[in-house]
Amino acid sequence: MRRINYQFKDSSLCELALTHRSCGKKNNERLEFLGDSIVNFVIAEDLYKRFPEAKEGQLSRLRAQMVKGKTLAEIARDMQMGDYLRLGSGELKSGGYRRDSILADSVESLIGAIYLDSDMSTVSGHILQWFASRLQQLNLEQTMKDSKTRLQEYLQSRRLPLPDYQLENVEGEAHEQTFYIKCTIAELQQSTSGVGNSRRQAEQESAKSALQQLQEHGVKL
């Protein structure tokens, strides 16, 4: 894997990092656990130094944006990790090497493996290299609360009933589903809709539409 720009001294660690649990008991779950803690610390430290005026909540939201599964999966694709994953037959048939969750976990397990094979300074350097372009694009304006939180806080401030999110439909196979959510709030005469690859994402989209409608009605958020 030349794209990670690291030469393992113990090649068995690299092999283990790329072995999904569908292959059996000897898999990358323990390395994933270790890597998850390391990447959270390294990104947190970078953000702390990068944004000296940021408050704790802002730093937390920026870190969450950086280490979420979707971002990690993008990094895995940048390194073409899907081509090297060891998967069980079931995961191979269902396209597991393309799935965000498996790709994201593999990045964390690789981080854990590099740490065990070297040291904290080395693995930190690689993490910051992989995240460099994304970190450079960050700004504090991106730390605004998510749409569901903003909508809930607005309604609570007016002592109005909380939003009602209803699952309208789910399409697709279990590993690649699309969710359709309807959001209803008392202040709007009509409900808003949201679509996403997870129920949470669809709820966020429907809440975002509700906020937009409220603003169109002259509400200041």
Task: Identify the CATH number of the domain in which residue 177 sits.
Answer: 3.30.160.20
Strand partners, 183: 165, 192
Distances (CA, A) of 57 to 61, 122, 144, 205, 207: 6, 29, 10, 22, 21
Average pLDDT (123-132) is 96
Task: Check whether residue 103 and residue 6 sit in a common domain.
Answer: yes
Among the options 32, 100, 105, 108, which is catalytic? 108
Is residue 221 included in any domain, yes or no? no
User: Whole-structure pTM over 0.75, yes or no?
Assistant: no
User: Quick one: 20 and 114 in the same domain?
Assistant: yes
Mark whether 188 and 124 lie in a shared domain.
no
* 75 and 163 housed in the same domain: no
| Burial profile 102-138: b = 16 or more Cβ within 10 angstroms, e = fewer | bbbbbbbbbbbbbbbbbeeeebbebbeebbeeeeeeb
- Confirm whether 29 is a catalytic residue: no
Output the pLDDT for position 13. 97
Give how many domains the chain has, as a whole number.
2
Instruction: Tell me, yes or no, whether 6 and 57 share the same domain.
Output: yes
Which whole-number Å values give the CA distances from 78 to 2, 4, 11, 55, 205, in the listed order?
A: 12, 9, 22, 31, 27
Task: Evaluate whether residue 97 is within a structural domain.
Answer: yes
The answer to whether position 130 is within a domain reads yes
Residue among 36, 91, 105, 203 flagged as catalytic = 36
Note whether 125 and 132 are within 8 A (CB): no
Instruction: Please indicate, yes or no, if residue 60 is contained in any of the structural domains.
Output: yes
Q: Are residues 211 and 109 in the same domain?
A: no
- Per-residue pLDDT averaged across 137-146, rounded? 77
Using 50, 70 and 90 to split pLDDT, how confident is the model at 12?
A: very high
48 and 106, same domain (yes or no): yes
Over residues 186-200, mean pLDDT: 90
pLDDT of residue 1: 60
Determine the average pLDDT of the residues in 63-84. Answer: 93
pLDDT of 143 reads 64
On whether residue 153 sits in a domain, the answer given is yes
Mean pLDDT of the residues in the chain: 91
Structural domain including 171 reads 147-216
Residues 151, 134, single domain; the answer is: no
Final residue of a structural domain among 95, 116, 140: 140
Q: Are residues 61 and 131 in the same domain?
A: yes
Residue 210 pLDDT? 93
| Residue 192 CB-half CA count within 13 A | 22
Residues 63 and 23 in one domain: yes
Q: Determine whether 203 is an active site residue.
A: no
> Which residue's entry shows tokens 């937390």?
60
Give the whole-angstrom CA distance, residue 26 versus residue 39.
Answer: 23
